Chain A
Amino acid sequence: DVKVTQSSRYLVKRTGEKVFLECVQDMDHENMFWYRQDPGLGLRLIYFSYDVKMKEKGDIPEGYSVSREKKERFSLILESASTNQTSMYLCASSPPGGSGANVLTFGAGSRLTVL
């Protein structure tokens, strides 16, 4: 019954490494999102996409990029990981339009540690 799948639950990377976080949804949702969650800061939006090959910056896009080549898959890329990117990363999706666009279904999260 898993609907939003994140490829890795736990990752440990070194400073400067390139990191890929993958997210796949099986609900045919148009909208997909990447958030990071840090204690005391809540969820902060990094990037989102409302269609294949479309992307928009969220509130904290610096140091990140995204790719959406297929409707079901949304990837978050850290070109050169830094220690301040150690965090829990949450992928989410939602249907298009109206109030349903705000009903987010989240993946289980990917906890990234950058040493």
Chain B
Amino acid sequence: QKEVEQNSGPLSVPEGAIASLNCTYSDRGSQSFFWYRQYSGKSPELIMSIYSNGDKEDGRFTAQLNKASQYVSLLIRDSQPSDSATYLCAGPSGGYNKLIFGAGTRLAVHP
């Protein structure tokens, strides 16, 4: 059974700080990972995808993939209260058409 695990949080950071969200996965064959953001009462939306080892930056967001350690992370620089949400890590499960999601980490950015 493939697994994606996240710390449920809440992770609380002050405004302007770096928020670091982490995810581990069990399938060594996984090649790509995705970060979805879900605001309270809303549906998830894709914010980052990463397909190779290393870092990928997009604005204030950086996704990191370490295949040797089976570890994925999302860094949010200059965190804003509007970043407060649940962040879901997802990886492929049995073919590229399916994703398996972690339980999500709730992030709270306080002014």
Contacts and interface: CB of A to CB of B under 8 A. Distances in A.
A27 interface: no
B70 interface: no
Contacts of B93: 45, 59
A100 to B, nearest CB: 9
Q: How large is the interface on B (under 10, 10 to 19, 20 to 34, 35 or more residues)?
A: 20 to 34
Q: With a 10 A CB-CB cut-off, give which of A33, A97, A104, A107 has the most chain B CB atoms.
A: A104
Interface residues of A, number: 26
Contacts of B90: 43, 102
Given A42-B103, A42-B104, A106 B45 contact: yes
Contact of A99 (B51, B98, B101, B103): B51
Nearest to B6: A42
A102 B43 contact: no
Interface in A92-115: 94, 97-99, 101-104, 106-109
